[in-house]
Amino acid sequence: MGIGIAGLSLGGNALANAPRATPIAMPQVEVNPSTTKAVTVNDGPGFGRRVALTFDDGPDPKNTPRILKALRERNVTATFFMIGRNVTNQPQLAAQVLAEGHELANHSYTHPKLSSKSNSRVLSELERCQEAINTATGVTPVWFRPPYGAWATKRQGPLAVKECLGVAMWSVDTMDWKYRNPRSVTNRALKGARPGSIILMHDIHRSTADAVPAVLDGLLDRGYEMTTMSGFLGHPYV
């Protein structure tokens, strides 16, 4: 698996004035599900001070634009794990996320608990989300996050490989889905962050959108460089 090398750690002011990051063009590769083991990650390389910011469940017409604004103002990129039906309903917003330098990733089409579903249903959820994102934006995701983190790795891993998707979990859960309080979200993100962390938030909650500026500023002040999953880890199967 390709691993991105952490760049020079800069202070908050330096990063805020850095040139705008450009999206990483991921190669489309073919893999053999019968011989290739699914790549599943909970975190990234622990050297440097690089973390991956991730947002689940969007795109959301009210809160995603607010989060994009906060990221744009600080020249920070993130990965948005999108629900396919939301992309179908908000194709222009999905395209905007991509145009602003962020990575689009697969979060299933309807957000079911996949570990309890049949292989055919799981594959349908993956494929329909891939198609929705590709139709809206012209890109095909290389990372997937199972809703609720519910994933039967041994049985369902080959299905992710079939779609050439790495399975991305997380190491810092801000619990923004449970505690709709900006201060709680900020504190959990900043206290949990370590070099190599994958930080989980959701771009469907107003409280999360309220918290994001403080989360970003706090991470920048601590010298962290924030990036996408692919900027962090490269392509899962290269």
* Catalytic residue list: 56, 202
Are the beta carbons of 237 and 166 closer than 8 angstroms? yes
Are the beta carbons of 207 and 182 closer than 8 angstroms? yes
3-state secondary structure 46-101: CCCCEEEEEEECCCCCCCHHHHHHHHHHCCCCCEEEECHHHHHHCHHHHHHHHHCC
Are the beta carbons of 237 and 28 closer than 8 angstroms? no
Burial annotation 55-65 (CB, 10 A radius, 16+ → b, else e): bbbbbbeebbe
Q: Which residues pair with 144 in a beta bridge?
A: 106, 167
Are the beta carbons of 85 and 79 closer than 8 angstroms? no
- Residue for token pair 């697969």: 106
Cα gap 167→236, rounded to integer Å: 9
Which amino acid belongs to residue 57?
D
- Judged by DSSP in three states, 106 sits in strand
Cα gap 176→202, rounded to integer Å: 7
